[in-house]
Structure 1
């Protein structure tokens, strides 16, 4: 008799179990020190099971990034902006919930991992940049151009520069709260909102 294949639900459940265990491992130990064997133990699975889902640690890290995007982070999409909502308000509406759970979902720790280990592991830096960092920049630049067309920003505004300024409080919060001064953490949402209202000051 042929051995029955696992159900789709069982396969998805096992995959998620692996990814959650890997996310915890990466967050606590970093990329270099994380081991497939330890992740397997944490997931309550055999090492071979991990490799049947993810061929390498790099592929597993990519699975973690995809999970974070799909499960805890809705990337901002410029085409969801409606004519009756200002660009500033749209950015706040779309990005504040994601900033609120950035620490609890593990995304802040993954960002700190990229800052600390991305230079030594270029593939994870490129992966993070391609899947999270660059797409967000592209959408924000589109929104800034719309804001310029609507006269919500001055005509001489530079979309590339303003995108970096919009994202700056998030990265400053990640560094300040997790590395430089964890005992005096700042509210990233407050930093982000103040910054947006200052950038779009002419509209308020």
Structure 2
């Protein structure tokens, strides 16, 4: 009753101020901002390397405030991880054994899925990102850990499963690829080192090297 009386004696026309609710950032806007920053970070890393890249320069490239970057990425290593995810992990390289068509051999599956990507590795940014890891990984171990965790280990595990399937079907006769799936990936790394560091004036065809490795593995010539 007392509460009701107080309400009745409130001066007429006096109303509570409306509550202003700010609209949060949409998921689409958040994703677009992250991509813009990651694109700027990619350009910065490829131009200057990891050591000389700065958050300030990334912000300037992206056209955003430096503080905004820290809302999405806590450090420069997190930016590098985002670049790896965007440019390599999500690059639609699907060699999961569950994607192999019925009756398709492992060799044919790898030639269909992996070879086209390897042939374009230098046309995209993937070889350049790997070269940053090679050049600066000793100084910045976090780069190696990011690349190993997000790229190398998942790919090696998928190749190992494919190697087990190939051994079971008789496509390969030994356990070399099962025990060391990096055997298949070795020409990629060799090609990147040659083209980016050892002999830039006489680059090798990384895609061709990879296909010849496939030939040796599945023909038995590499034994």
Indicate whether the TM-score tops 0.5. Answer: yes
Structure 1 residue 17, shift from structure 2 partner: 0.7
> Which residue pairs with 1:195 in the alignment?
213
Change (3 A) 1:176 1:128: same
Q: Please, which of 185, 192, 195 is the counterpart of residue 167 of structure 1?
A: 185
> Which residue pairs with 1:89 in the alignment?
108
1:101-140 paired onto structure 2 within 5 Å: 101-140=120-159
SS in structure 2 opposite 1:134?
A: helix
Extract unaligned runs of 5+ from structure 1: none
Question: Does 2:68 match 1:49?
Answer: yes
Question: Does 2:26 match 1:16?
Answer: no
Q: Structure 2-normalised TM-score?
A: 0.83
Q: Supply the distance in 2 between the matched residues of 1:202 and 1:82 (Cα, whole angstroms).
A: 24
Q: C-alpha deviations, 1:68-110, integer Å up to 9, x for none?
A: 2354242421222234111111111111222133223211111
Q: Supply the distance in 1 between the matched residues of 2:93 and 2:182 (Cα, whole angstroms).
A: 19
Q: Supply the distance in 1 between the matched residues of 2:102 and 2:24 (Cα, whole angstroms).
A: 50
> Which residue pairs with 1:181 in the alignment?
199
SS in structure 2 opposite 1:185?
A: coil
Higher helix share: 1
Extract unaligned runs of 5+ from structure 2: 1-19
Q: Is the 8 A contact 1:152 1:202 kept in 2?
A: no
Q: C-alpha deviations, 1:143-173, integer Å up to 9, x for none?
A: 1111111111114545123x22211111111
Question: Does 2:123 match 1:98?
Answer: no
Structure 1 residue 201, shift from structure 2 partner: 0.6
Q: Is the 8 A contact 2:88 2:126 kept in 1?
A: no
Looking at CA atoms only, which structure, 1 or 2, has the larger radius of gyration? 2
Q: Is the 8 A contact 2:97 2:162 kept in 1?
A: yes
Cα RMSD, aligned residues only: 1.9
> Which residue pairs with 1:153 in the alignment?
172
SS in structure 1 opposite 2:138?
A: coil
Q: Structure 1-normalised TM-score?
A: 0.91
